[in-house]
Amino acid sequence: MVEEIKEHEPLNYWTRRIQFSGKSSYIIALPKRWVDEMKLKAGSELTVARYGPKALIITHRDHMPTQLKDKAVIETSNKEHPHSLIRRIISAYLLGYRIIQVKAKDGRFDLQHKEVVKDTVRESLIGVEVVDESTNYITLQVFLGVPELNVENALRRMFLIAASMHRDALTALTEFDYEVAKGVIRVDDEVDRFSLYTIRQLKQAVSDGRILEKIGLEAPKDCLGYRVIVKSVERTADHAVSIAQNVLQLKNRLKPEILDHIKNLSDTAVSFLERASQALFKRDYESAERLILDAEVVDNMVKELLTIIDAESSKEQTYIARLIIEDIKRTAEYATDIAEIVLNLTADKILSSTS
């Protein structure tokens, strides 16, 4: 029996019915024009792979995408600024290389450049180890085969750290504790590590859809939304660092009434961040929408607080307090930005389609 075939333009796809082979497999027929154009023939080997939960990809075996690029070689001079070397190593990591080898153009590394490479691995790159080194090269290998550290789990960790950093920054402010403030600044490196790791995973998923499901996402379109969310959480952590840095600039504790209002504002902003996180991981459209509608609460709290500060504080305290309030406000705004993305990721749940 010949099945009806329909070609749709301009998308250029064919509709075919699945046939049962009579045993344990199903088959479909490929359009002859496609077979000819791709220089295939009877007996050519094809690979069929799942692309998320609702799509299949048929690929010629000779043109299968690779999950990881093999090796990147970075040549550096002792005259090169260490920060430039760091940027190139991170770029190779994000591009998906499995091995990154750093070579010295001058014949040997000076101590500073060698320590920069090792510090970058230890402090910034999850899953990377120094596997070989000599006086003139260092070889790094990326071990990213840990299934429990998928995109969602890494992002959960980022949310938890960012929220904790904000609470600690406010503790440093209310208790006037410089050591707690310094601790907040140090923890920021941990958020950056998870950020780089997650971006690397998302880049791989975009270029090779076969690993999309492995990293815990449902569809290719999710990658862009998650990339923006990662950046929003990273910036949220940066605002916690900014609060801590401003605490270190204070010479005297802020007045109790002002501290109470700032703490209330901060608690609201952190609760927004946690609600955005929950809406994301539960794929909850309604919760994300409620969060966006509640954004006006923060604006009203900020206006009231600025009025109090201008009336009660000295010039120095007014300046620093305003900076801290702006950081808290931006935290709430990033939370609502994340909620907006959740709406986009889950919109299909509240939309009906017609054919």
Of residues 301 and 220, more confidence is placed in: 301
CATH superfamily to which 151-346 belongs: Phosphate transport system protein phou homolog 2; domain 2 (1.20.58.220)
Q: Report domain extents, the chain.
A: 6-63, 69-142, 151-346
Give the least confident one: 32-46, 155-169, 240-254, 298-312.
Answer: 32-46
The pLDDT tens digits for 261-319 are 999 999 999 999 999 999 999 999 999 999 999 999 999 999 999 998 888 767 778 88
Q: What is the mean pLDDT of residues 181-205?
A: 91
DSSP 263-307: HHHHHHHHHHHHHHHHHHHHT-HHHHHHHHHTHHHHHHHHHHHHH
**Digit-coded pLDDT (tens) for 53-95:** 566 777 766 555 444 568 899 998 888 888 899 999 999 999 8
Tokens of 25: 């497999």
What is the structure's pLDDT at 272? Answer: 98
Give pLDDT, residue 331: 97
Name the token pair of 308. 């109090």
> What does the DSSP assignment read for 25-37?
-EE-PPPHHHHHH
Predicted pLDDT of residue 113: 85
pLDDT tens by residue, 112-127: 888 888 888 888 898 8
CA torsion, points 231, 233, 237, 238, in degrees to nearest 10? Answer: 30
Q: Is the model's pLDDT at 9 over the cut of 50?
A: no
Residue 96: predicted pLDDT:
85
> How is 152-203 classified by DSSP, letter by letter?
HHHHHHHHHHHHHHHHHHHHHHHTT-HHHHHHHHHHHHHHHHHHHHHHHHHH
As a CATH number, domain 69-142 is 3.30.110.20
CA neighbours closer than 13 Å in the CB half-sphere of residue 167: 11
- Give the bridge partners for 99, in sequence order: 71, 141
Residue 52 has pLDDT above 70, yes or no: no
- The CA distance from 287 to 60, in Å, is 44
Please identify which residue in the block is written with the tokens 């040997």: 108
Percentage of the chain lying above the pLDDT 70 cut = 85
Residues 6+ apart with CB under 8 A from 191: 158, 161, 162, 165, 233, 234, 237
Residue 4: pLDDT band with limits 50, 70, 90: very low
CA–CA separation, 98 and 314 (whole Å): 56
pTM above 0.85, yes or no: no
- Hey, what are 38's tokens? 């791709």
Strands 97-104 and 137-142: antiparallel
Prior bond of 82 cis (ω within 30°):
no
